Structure 1
Amino acid sequence: MKRALMSVSDKTGLVSFAQKLIEKNFEIVSTGGTKKVLEDAGIETISVEDVTGFPEILDGRVKTLNPFIHGGLLGRRDLPEHVKTMEKLHIQPIDLVCVNLYPFKETIEKPDVTLADAIENIDIGGPSMLRSAAKNYHDVTVVVDSADYQVIANELDEFGDTKLETRAKFAAKVFRHTAAYDALIASYLTEKAGIVAPEKLTLTYDLEDSMRYGENSHQKAWFYKDALPKEYAITNAKQLHGKKLSYNNIKDADAAIRIAREFSEPTVVALKHMNPCGIGKGNTIEEAWDRAYAADSISIFGGVIVLNRKVDLATAKKMHALFLEIIIAPAYTDEAFEILAKKKNIRLLQLDFVNKDEQPRKETVSVMGGLLVQEQDVLEEDPETWTVVTEKQPTAQQLKTLLFAWKAVKHTKSNAIVVTNDDQTLGIGAGQPNRIDSTKIAIKNTGNNLDETAVLASDAFFPMDDCVEYAAEHGIKAIVQPGGSIRDKDSIAMANKYGITMVITGIRHFRH
């Protein structure tokens, strides 16, 4: 008779799987809650204590850590010496292990979790049994996922045993599972210990989707979700309508909601290829849309739109008139959704903005041979900390407008220049290898239609005074920039020459 060891926290499918094993002439060793569920279902089991000859101790912390368990898992059937030792010590082989682990992830996701609760939900015996069985997969079938029970049942019916190929795949899955489990524990305890740069970085993600392709059609791609995702994240957006999100859609959507996070008043962000092409504010979401659209009515074609208020019918009608890839909002009125959903391919997503100010996790960027890790750029902007460096002083309204421009430029690819008025972006110059070209592009994109309220923001300092001069010659009245160049005095002198105001933030916002 073969022997199976079953000890699971997740009881999904447990009874029917155990019944199949009994049918195939397995005897079942079990413990704790698993044993009770099985016996309540009329399935006879052998207790772990009867196998080990040793009682469960220390509030259940020690029960399966025993040679009669691990010898039965690790003993190789093809080595006479192993077989002889097991027979001499009366260790019975264990042929199948069905184990899943204490719910550590579910425990630490609880808002009121204590460190003591988390520690008690660190499984020790479960991973040990899984790893022992997986190491010896040539002889032992190991299953950690209830979704795989049917695969085993089918092979037992067809072949009388599981296939070596299947056992190998399940063993690999076990090591992925225990690695992810340990990664969560490591991250949690590392954070609790206040360690910010551990010598080993352990990250774990769950496969969310297999993409049709990546950045380009010849590249394969997959979308993985953080095992403990934040609330305000594209992974938590609910897709209500349209085609699956593509690789580029996800990157653009993520960039767009990062920008929207900056604003509390009714705001619309239009984004294209990781750069904003229009940001508009208003008293209503329709007014904000009108301004975002007017900011760049050409580039918005095929763009990603984020609205931080419920989409109403009037705004929906205006968006419906355009080709847009994605619309993200906290909600849609029934009438707004009905009109937008008339286009079968547009992606309509719903994302809760309540948690937009939650503390974000560090962000990672892959490079060949490694990984860059940094805090997200979520610095709270405070004009009270800025320094006026010109003879011309900014008005209160100019400071308000400069703050809007400063928030917009921090989300534009470097070198970045953004021109705005009080309520909308007017021109954006992004990603140029020199700052004067970004300045020229931003000014050009305004259509040279600048009034007294127009201001300019630069994500980093001006290396020379040419950007300031070009801006002044085209009607800019106020500039915000980080400062820090050895030629700051030249840019300040140029601003004074044209009678414009310049403020220094002391903080740059590169975005590569």
Structure 2
Amino acid sequence: MNLRYGMNPHQRPATATPVDPTRRPFRLLHGDPSYINILDAAAAWQLVREAANALGRPVAASFKHVSPAGAAAAGPIDAVMARTYGLEPTTIGALTSAYVRTRDADPKSSYGDFVAVSETVDAELADLLRRVVSDGIVAPGYEPGVVSVLSAKKGGRFLVVEADPDFQPPLTETRDVYGLRLTQPRDDVPLTREMLSDPQLPASAVDDLLLGLIVVRYTQSNSVAYLRDGMTLGIGAGQQSRVDCTQLAGAKVDTWWLRRHPSIQALDVDANTKIQDHVNEQIRRTAVEGEPLDSADRTRWLRRLDQVAFVSDGALPFADNVEQAKRHGVRYIAEPGDSIRSADVLAECQRQGITLVRTGVRLFRH
């Protein structure tokens, strides 16, 4: 497959070639992809397929620059999501709910995203995608008429990719870097609920932690994820310092929760306002001290957030990650363990009333 260009427009020509010419993981239905589009489609599809199989529900992901901005399983949408995206909570379909919950986690980062969903795209989801800014989608199939609706986006430049749900990648991965060829086994260690067995974990927390493990598996390291009710609230990716990653993702959690403050929701919105402009105004208001929220209002509201799960792709090296996570309503943590200060991390979790699960599995991605 000829690509529009490589990672940057000056890197031409660029191509994508199947390792096995007799079996392709994707079929391009519309558009002219770039190198990064292919990377996003490949990682995003693997995430939603793995998560849907693990959770038994439709899953969506929103990818930007080879990391998810959000991911979620199908579930209820709250009043904020319904109002923001112009949807009826009682009639919304499962697949559309999964994407709304995905995009609402970090809608600023999801602007211009590559979408992945685990199920066949229906007309309802296509209508929503028609109204938001995104660059492409990968899915296992499309209902009749949906491809033509999506193909009209972006002046006909929207990418529509069909994944082969039965495709299994090779057992080894190879990458050429600066004259060196690196080869390793594909990271296919199973991520299951059994890894998270702890009598103190409610079933909902187990599912949140399991989704979080799958999310960080496909996120550029260092990575962490905050989750609640089957959806990410904040994802931190690619930071050299894990506590910086924890803080950045925590700031996204705060923004998500502050958008639900009654004073933010009471702001007048013109019926003709575009979805992204509405979201941007919500986010701007959450960051402004004073009207509509003063410092005391913000603090009181943020303290109400609870039952949040937190997942780290690598061992927490210091207890400061636990301290930061607790500020964002975290009650449950999953991490590999086996750092030289793992005892300190456990002690801090016990002090903060957080249930800690050690998976023994590191999930770095570079």
Is TM more than 0.5 here? yes
Matching of residues 84-103 of structure 1 within 5 Å: none
C-alpha contact 2:311 2:335 (8 A) present in aligned 1: yes
The corresponding residue for 1:276 is 68
> Does structure 1 residue 239 correspond to structure 2 residue 14?
no
Tell which has more relative contact order, 1 or 2 (C-alpha 8 A, sep 6+): 2
- Matches of 1:312 and 1:504 in 2, distance apart? 39
Return closer, same or farther for 1:317/1:468 CA change in 2, 3 Å cut-off.
same
Conservation of the 8 A alpha-carbon contact between 2:45 and 2:139: no
Pairing 1:373-412 to 2, within 5 Å after superposition: 373-386=183-196, 393-412=200-219
Q: Does 1:504 align with 2:358?
A: yes
The 1-side partners of 2:103 and 2:363 are apart by 25
Structure number with bigger Rg: 1
Is there any run of 5+ residues in structure 2 with no aligned partner, and where? 76-93, 258-303
Match of 2:41 among 253, 256, 259: 253
433-442 or 465-474, which deviates more: 465-474
Deviations 1:350-378 (A, max 9, x none): 2232x15x363311122223111111112
Structure 1 residue corresponding to 2:179, chosen from 345, 355, 369: 369
Q: What is the aligned-residue RMSD (CA, Å)?
A: 2.0
Contact 1:414 1:511 in 2 (8 A): yes
Alignment equivalent of 2:10, drawn from 211, 218, 235? 218
Provide the identity percentage: 33
Q: Shift in Å at residue 299 of structure 1? A: 1.3
For residues 338 and 227 of structure 1, do their structure 2 counterparts lie closer, same or farther at Cα, with a shift above 3 Å needed?
closer
Query: Are the counterparts in 1 of residues 45 and 163 from structure 2 also a CA contact under 8 Å?
Result: no
What's 2:321 paired with?
A: 467
Q: In the TM superposition, what whole-angstrom CA distance separates every residue of 1:366-414 from its partner, at most 9, and x where no partner exists? A: 22231111111121113324475xxx92223212221111111111111
Q: Residues 438-457 of structure 1: matches in 2 within 5 Å?
A: 438-447=245-254, 449=257, 451-457=305-311
Task: Give the Å deviation of 1:323.
Answer: 2.1
Output the CA distance in 1 between the equivalents of 2:237 and 2:103: 18
Deviations 1:118-139 (A, max 9, x none): xxxxxxxxxxxxxxxxxxxxxx
**Displacement over 4 Å in runs of 4+:** none
- 1:348 matched to 2:160? The reply is yes
Equivalent in the alignment of 1:420 = 227
Contact 1:404-1:422 within 8 A present in 2 as well: no
Change in Cα spacing, 1:335 to 1:387, as seen in structure 2 (3 Å) is closer
Within-5 A mapping of 1:44-443: 208-209=1-2, 211-229=3-21, 231=23, 235-242=24-31, 244-264=32-52, 265-282=57-74, 284-343=94-153, 344-353=156-165, 355=166, 358=168, 360-386=170-196, 393-443=200-250
Instruction: Give the CA deviation at 1:469.
Output: 0.9
How many angstroms apart in 2 are the aligned matches of 1:331 and 1:488? 45
Question: Residue 246 of structure 1 aligns to which amino acid in structure 2?
Answer: S
Partner Cα separation in structure 2 for residue 451 and residue 213 of structure 1: 44
User: 2: distance between equivalents of 1:410 and 1:212?
Assistant: 28
The structure-2 alpha-carbon separation of the partners of 1:452 and 1:322, relative to structure 1 and needing over 3 Å to count, comes to same
CA shift for structure 1 position 222: 2.6
Go from structure 1 to structure 2 and tell me whether the alpha carbon gap of 1:432 and 1:482 turns closer, same or farther (over 3 Å shift): same
Aligned length: 295
One-letter code aligned to 1:247: Y
Gaps of 5+ in 1: 1-207
Distance 1:511 1:453, change over 3 A: same
Distance in 1, matches of 2:47 and 2:201, equals 25
**Counterpart contact for 2:45–2:117, Cα < 8 Å:** no
* Contact 2:61 2:115 survives alignment (8 Å): yes
Cα distance between partner residues in 1 of 2:21 and 2:72: 29
Task: Tell me how far apart the structure 2 counterparts of residues 348 and 337 of structure 1 sit (CA, whole Å).
Answer: 7
Task: Give SS of 2:229's match.
Answer: coil
